Structure 1
Amino acid sequence: MADHLTIGHDATLTQVVDRFRRHHDLRLLAVLDERRQPVGVLRELDVRELLFNPFGHALLRNPSFGDAIAQLIRPATVTDHDTPLPDLLAMHSDRGVVLVQHGTFLALLDPEQLLRMASRWHGDASALAQARSQRVHAAANAFEAGIKALANDIGTACSAIGRVAAELDQRATTTHGSAASVAAAAHQTAVGMVDIEQRGRALAQSIERITRDAGEALRLREQASAAVERTGTQVRSLSDVATTIEEMLALIRGLAKQTNLLALNAGIEAARAGAAGTGFAVVAGEVKSLARQTEAAAGDIARRVDAVHLLLGDVGQGQAAVQSAIAAIGQITTTIGTAVAAERRTTQAIAERVEEARGAGADIDARAGAIAAAADGIGDRAGMLTRLVEGLSGLSRQLQGRASELVSAVA
């Protein structure tokens, strides 16, 4: 950033030469405009060639040439001041690198400075690489030792897992035998259940027959009830007829009394009149009228008696229907009893089959208990196997940790 590294773009060639003469180690000059922004660079080599030219001094004294440096300015490699070092080294050229900050000149790096910076950077990188190589080597050795130890531990765990697996296989064989016994018992139970099913079907059919017979009995009972009701109605009708007959009989009795009285009066009158028959004729007329009334009442009574006979016939028929219905109900009852007896035998057979099924169930229960115990043992072994697997997981995590350490060391 020294001022002798820069010169204005309007400087003369004489000023440039004087700058290089006073600073013997100067190889480049940054040419800046009035805003201190780089325009290009002047190389000490180009100025020297000009001076060594036989006509160089004459050119310096020539106002048209000596007052301008534009013909000696070369394009500059310009980059920001925070450009990474590897990128700066990649920009290396005989014109150096001009560093700027916000477009304003900050520093000038000539080729020698870039070479020294590259040398130091490569030296530092080499030292870092060597240290890293040593760390990687040490980590690799430690990793190898850890891997060997982990391999031994995993081998031991695998042996234990193999033994547990053999035990589990043996227990599985035992469990398989028990399962076969359970299967046989289940088959026996299934056969019994088939028989129960068949008998259940027969029971259902018998119950269906009983239901039909019960329906028929209900229908017959309803018919009998209707017949009995009709008989009751007829009996009430007979009662009414009997009442009417009693009334008619009372009327006949009254007529008989009147006839008797008239007859008595006729006799009295006849006794008084002697031969005169006028009064007797009147009495005789009355007697005749009463006789007609009596005859009509007797006819009415006869008709009503016939009606009573008809009603009694209906009552007899109703009783016969009731007796038939009762007989049919008795037959149905007999059928129901027979069906119930058959169902009793079926029930007994079902009970026997159920008892067999219960025995098979007890055997299944015992076998299931043995299977459960074996399963418990297998569960314990499975727990041990789980713990071993967890141990293997821990070893795997250790291996991952070692690998992470190695990766961290290599990174």
Structure 2
Amino acid sequence: MTQPRPALPSPTAAPEADVRSDRIIDWLSASDRNAPHVLRTDTLISVIDRFQANQDLRLLPVLDALGRPCGAIFERDMRRLLLNPYGHALLRNPAYGGDLTSHIRNCPTADIAQSIGETLEQYRIGRGTEGMMILRDNQLFAVLTNRRLALLAGEWEAYRARLRVGRADQIENAAQRFEGEVASLGRMMDKLSKMLESDAAEVAERSTQVGTRAAAVATAAVQTSAHMEEIAGRGRELAGALDSIAARTEEARNAAQEAVALVSAGSARTADLRVSAESIESVIDLIGEISRQVNLLALNATIEAARAGDAGRGFAVVAGEIKLLSHQTATAANRIRAYVDDIGHAVDEVSGGHAQVETAIARIAANSAEIQGAVTLQRSATQLIAFNAAQTHDASRAAGVDADAINGIAQSAAERAGAMLVIAKRVFDGAQQLAVESSHFVEQIRVA
């Protein structure tokens, strides 16, 4: 019973000739990929039948059960059996035609990933005469006969010739473009060299001007630095004076606060004196009341002494003296009241004076505070001015240093500009030489 044949890899369509690569797979036709084959387990008579069915068949690949080639059977080895009229009957004998091993020969092989040149080299190395097998993953993919290989070799050489012609055309076109671009580049370099020469001269002139101006800036920076240093010194002195004024103002403010405290204490004592004066008035009123009572008693005693007659004369004299003393006491009390009233008016005047003094001292303290605040602000502003003046002094000094550096750079730029002039001349000479060499190179390519 015949075993099923292993499936061969499915062929893919060949690309167009103008997009072919050098890989052998791109040069295989459909008939190459669908070449007949037999299995190692097939009989010899099936091999003869395949050769008889295809008169152009020169080799028949023999595959194992996995589709891997074991070798090939060549038409030249089967020719005597094909020409023998009794060969077909002989092959039906199981003892003679049942095994293909003795008829299998080595056949050159190549992988589809190889180039067509490598494939032809493999065929040469393998000493092929009838054809070769093309493999993919060690399985049969296509079969190329000797004639087909010769045709492929001719097509390959023709294809390479077309590639060389196309490449020559590309080289010619590239040479023409190169010649045009070199000519354009030469003209551009000529123009650039002239521009470079002009710019270098201008840079040299400007560098000289910058150097002159930098020297002037350096001189002005030195003068500014000296002036700002003097301003900074005066500012520091003014800040010191303002510090002294602030200290004296603080002392005056403290003295005013102490005076306010003393005046406040005096006002308190004056208030106490007013209270004492009011107490004295109370006592005077009591003395006046006592004097009136004594006077009334003296009057009653006089009346009673008059009634008593001679017996009451001494008592009447005493009553008169008491009445006189009471009158003197009332007079003294009135005088004391007058004095107390004067003291009260004086106390009121002192209290008013104290209030005015307190108001004046309060104004002095407020003015001192305002003066101290203004002095503080002025001191801060003066210190800031002194600081800024010091910074400006440092900046002016740095500007002088930078101006000197700019002057040095300007001189260096002038020297570089001179070097640029030399380079511009060299660029111009190089452009002319490049144009000559490029023309010579293009002529050599065309002659080649």
Any unmatched runs of 5+ in structure 2? Answer: 1-30, 400-448
Aligned to 1:115: 150
Q: Determine which of 216, 234, 237 is the counterpart of 1:181.
A: 216
Q: Which amino acid aligns with 1:262?
A: L
Distance in 1 (alpha carbons) for counterparts of 2:241 and 2:174: 91
TM-score, length-scaled by structure 1: 0.55
Aligned to 1:74: 105
Give the alignment of 1:196-235 within 5 angstroms.
Answer: 196-235=231-270
Q: Determine which of 42, 47, 57 is the counterpart of 2:73.
A: 42
Q: Which amino acid aligns with 2:170?
A: R
Q: After TM superposition, give the deviation of residue 210 of structure 1 in Å.
A: 1.3
Q: After TM superposition, give the deviation of residue 143 of structure 1 in Å.
A: 0.8
Post-superposition Cα deviations, 1:84-124, rounded to whole Å, max 9, x if no partner, equal: 64454344223512468999988643223312321231133
Q: Determine which of 181, 187, 191 is the counterpart of 1:146.
A: 181
Q: After TM superposition, give the deviation of residue 150 of structure 1 in Å.
A: 0.8
Post-superposition Cα deviations, 1:248-290, rounded to whole Å, max 9, x if no partner, equal: 3333333334433433333333232123349939976x959x9
Q: Which amino acid aligns with 1:74?
A: R
Distance in 2 (alpha carbons) for counterparts of 1:237 and 1:65: 164
Post-superposition Cα deviations, 1:178-223, rounded to whole Å, max 9, x if no partner, equal: 2332332233222222222222222221111111111111121122
Q: Which amino acid aligns with 2:265?
A: R
Measured at CA, do residues 165 and 233 of structure 1 come closer, stay the same or move farther in structure 2, by a change above 3 Å?
A: same
Distance in 1 (alpha carbons) for counterparts of 2:109 and 2:177: 49
User: What is the percentage of aligned positions where both structures have the same residue?
Assistant: 35
Quick check: 2:45–2:92 contact (8 Å CA) kept in 1?
A: no
Quick check: 1:14–1:66 contact (8 Å CA) kept in 2?
A: no
Give the alignment of 1:2-401 within 5 angstroms.
Answer: 9-12=42-45, 15=48, 19=52, 27-30=58-61, 40-46=71-77, 64-65=95-96, 70-77=101-108, 85-86=116-117, 88-92=119-123, 93-98=128-133, 108-277=143-312, 280=315, 287=322
Q: Which moved more, 1:136-145 or 1:101-110?
A: 101-110
Q: After TM superposition, give the deviation of residue 245 of structure 1 in Å.
A: 3.0
SS in 2 for 1:235: helix
Measured at CA, do residues 26 and 275 of structure 1 come closer, stay the same or move farther in structure 2, by a change above 3 Å?
A: closer
Quick check: 2:38–2:47 contact (8 Å CA) kept in 1?
A: no
Measured at CA, do residues 138 and 246 of structure 1 come closer, stay the same or move farther in structure 2, by a change above 3 Å?
A: closer
Measured at CA, do residues 28 and 199 of structure 1 come closer, stay the same or move farther in structure 2, by a change above 3 Å?
A: same
Distance in 2 (alpha carbons) for counterparts of 1:196 and 1:11: 124
Any unmatched runs of 5+ in structure 1? Answer: 52-56, 365-411
Q: Which amino acid aligns with 1:265?
A: N
Post-superposition Cα deviations, 1:148-203, rounded to whole Å, max 9, x if no partner, equal: 33123123113203312321332233133223323322332222222222222222
Aligned to 2:402: none
Aligned to 2:26: none
TM-score, length-scaled by structure 2: 0.52
Query: What is the alpha-carbon root mean square deviation over aligned residues?
Result: 5.7
Measured at CA, do residues 200 and 100 of structure 1 come closer, stay the same or move farther in structure 2, by a change above 3 Å?
A: closer
Quick check: 2:306–2:312 contact (8 Å CA) kept in 1?
A: no
Distance in 1 (alpha carbons) for counterparts of 2:47 and 2:113: 35
Q: Which amino acid aligns with 1:276?
A: A
Distance in 1 (alpha carbons) for counterparts of 2:231 and 2:260: 41
Quick check: 1:4–1:19 contact (8 Å CA) kept in 2?
A: no
Quick check: 1:13–1:66 contact (8 Å CA) kept in 2?
A: no
Distance in 2 (alpha carbons) for counterparts of 1:281 and 1:69: 198
Q: Which amino acid aligns with 2:187?
A: N
Aligned to 1:407: none
Q: Which amino acid aligns with 1:192?
A: H
Measured at CA, do residues 166 and 17 of structure 1 come closer, stay the same or move farther in structure 2, by a change above 3 Å?
A: closer
Distance in 1 (alpha carbons) for counterparts of 2:92 and 2:122: 37
